Amino acid sequence: MIDATTQLAAVALQQGAPALEPVAAAAIAVGLGALGTGIAQRSIGAAAVGAVAEDRDMLVPALIFTALPETLIIIAFVTIFVAQG
């Protein structure tokens, strides 16, 4: 138990090598960003399909609004370059 605690402390204090390489951390950031995008698009997509089903003219606005949460993942993508730089 105590052994594990000291190990955990070593990781938290980043003694030795860091627990996560910068690139790995960036990968997690991108992944979480993608997850957020997915959650947001789920609702918007459902509503968009409903709107288009009622009125074909809604197709373009529906596509725009469905694509809006993509900005989340694009911003998350930036972290890769920040982490590498």
Partner 1 sequence: MSAQDYRSSNYEYVTARVRSRRSKLFDDDDYRKLVRMGTSEIARFMEESEYEAEMNRLGSRHSGVDLVEYALNENLAGHFDDLLRWADGRLYDYVARYLRKFDVWNVKTVLRGLYSGADRAAVEADLIDAGEFSEDELEALLDADSVEAVVAALDRTVFGDPLEAALADYEGSGLLVPLENALDRTFYESLIAGLPDEPGRATSLYIEFLRAEIDFRNLRNALRIARSGADMDPSEYFIEGGRLFDEQELRQLVTDESQLVEHIRESTYGDDLDDALGTLAEAESLIEFEHALDAALLEYADTLSNRYPLSVCPILSFVLAKEREVDNIRAIARGREAGLAPEEIREELVIS
* Among 53, 63, 64, 82, contact with partner 1 (rule: CB under 8 A): 53
Q: Which is nearer to partner 1, 3 or 54 (CB)?
A: 54
Binding of partner 1 by 64 (CB under 8 A): no
Q: Find the DSSP H helices in 1-85.
A: 2-12, 22-54, 59-67, 70-84
Least spacing, CB of residue 49 vs partner 1, in Å:
7
Taking CB under 8 A as the rule, does residue 10 contact partner 1? no
Closer residue to partner 1, CB minimum distance, 17 or 60: 60
The answer to whether the beta carbons of residues 83 and 55 sit under 8 Å apart is no
80 makes contact with partner 1 (CB under 8 A): no
d(CA 47, CA 75): 25
Q: Is the sign of the CA dihedral 76, 80, 82, 83 positive or negative? A: positive
- Name the residues that contact partner 1, by CB under 8 A: 43-44, 46-51, 53-55, 58
